[in-house]
Amino acid sequence: MLAPDLIAKKRDGEKLSQEEIKFLVENYTADKIPDYQLSAFLMAAFLNGLDTDETFWLTEAMLHSETSIEFPEKLHPVFDKHSTGGVGDKISLTLSPLMASLGYNIAMLSGRGLGHTGGTLDKLESIPGLNPFWSKTQIKNRLGKCGIAISGQTEDIAPADKKIYALRDLTGRVESIPLITASILSKKLALKTDGIVFDIKSGSGAFMKTAEEARKLARSLLSVCKKFRHPAVSLLTDMSEPLGHYIGNYMEIIETVNFLKTGEPEDIREVTFRLAYEIARMNGSPENKREFSARLSKAISSADPLQKFIEFVKISGGDTKILSNPESYHRPKSGGRLPAGKSGYIAAFNTELIGKASLVLGAGRLRIEDRIDPMAGIHITKKIGQEIKADETLFELYGSNRKAVSAAKTMLSESYKIRKEKIASPRKIITLIEN
């Protein structure tokens, strides 16, 4: 079997066999196929597509290059959640302690920020002392102790995906749905959980800009999960505006703690509660959405979810003192404000531009060598549909220096629209897709 023959076959729109795909993945991972040949294959797959069988075989080959994590029987059922990424998306941090407080075990391998979207690991690392990289043994032990295991990928968990993703990122092949599917599932299925709930975001702040693109990705993920006989559902959620009111790593820890205390703001509650319900439904819960939501609200009132989050931070080496009053530990180097400039109702946000402004402030990386400022970020005071006065502050900015704050302010001034007529707030839950 020769790599050039397989590249030509996919270039001509032919279907590859399971053995041919396995050959490409195994030999590339073992450095027996050079970058330029796999890059040519990825471009052929990007242009001509992969069918469900090929996507399954690619996922399988990448998965088998990795070390899987089996959980002891006493810890089951264990559930996972995956988000395709958004601006202000802190749902992994609100969902996991909430479900853990009800006796569910939640395990997930999380990542850093990608493009204009924030990463769960960067948010966790904004807590002093917290180390989000756990060994396989630590993942199992800590899940048993507090019901939450959120860890970064270790070297032996995703070697094939790590190499292939880096090549896709550098050569313009990131947006291929079959390649996205294989990348996500080769990591997710390495954790031997009892089910996955996918949060597929669409809108100006998501990688999938339209609901139709999001549906295609959701169906692709579910069809491959079905071939693996792994339970999964996909929830399509709206990312036409940032989730919550805070963007930036430590600022999103503040909002996480506030949510676990109060169940607010409403949009975070809506997405968190619905994902929680879908996990419970996968586990066979007889409760309907209203009954389960009441149970979640009661849990928040009890302070049990906040206690679970504190346990998780402590077990990860983080300083739990800051969680009693996280706002008092927010000490940015520079700040500023941007008033609305016009009276009326918030009509729209360019959420991707807001995410990019947060990067300029220091909340993410513009270059691979950049250091993240954990205190940098944006506070958005209003949501779509809410009234604002011309002199009212719409954005509070916190950055590494005055120059960054000034540049981000210029970007944010182009990121919203105000109209005289009141418009409805967008629904956060678009639809549920199941196999």
The one catalytic residue among 183, 204, 220, 415: 183
64 is catalytic: no
The one catalytic residue among 10, 81, 82, 269: 82
135 is catalytic: no
The one catalytic residue among 116, 140, 163, 187: 187
* Among 266, 271, 233, CA closest to 433: 233
* Strand-pair partners of 151: 109
- Separation of alpha carbons 309 and 92, rounded Å: 11
Q: Which residue has the tokens 């819960």?
A: 285
Work out the angle between the directed axes of helices 18-29 and 35-48 (0-180°, nearest 10): 140
Element holding 323 (H helix, E strand):
none
Please answer whether residues 319 and 127 qualify as being in contact, where contact means their C-beta atoms are separated by less than 8 angstroms. yes
Cα–Cα distances in angstroms (integers) from residue 218 to residues 53, 86, 158, in the given order? 16, 16, 22
Instruction: Tell me the torsion sign for CA atoms 237, 239, 244, 249.
Output: positive
161 is catalytic: yes
Angle at 407 between CA 402 and CA 409, to 5 degrees: 95
Cα–Cα distances in angstroms (integers) from residue 201 to residues 213, 243, 431, in the given order? 10, 11, 11
Strand order in the sheet with 393-399: 246-247, 377-380, 393-399, 334-339
Please answer whether residues 41 and 164 qualify as being in contact, where contact means their C-beta atoms are separated by less than 8 angstroms. no
The one catalytic residue among 161, 199, 238, 373: 161
- Separation of alpha carbons 70 and 336, rounded Å: 48
Q: Compute the CA torsion angle 277, 282, 287, 292 (nearest 10 deg).
A: -20
- Separation of alpha carbons 348 and 146, rounded Å: 40
The one catalytic residue among 90, 168, 230, 269: 168
82 is catalytic: yes
Catalytic residue ranges:
82, 161, 168, 183, 187
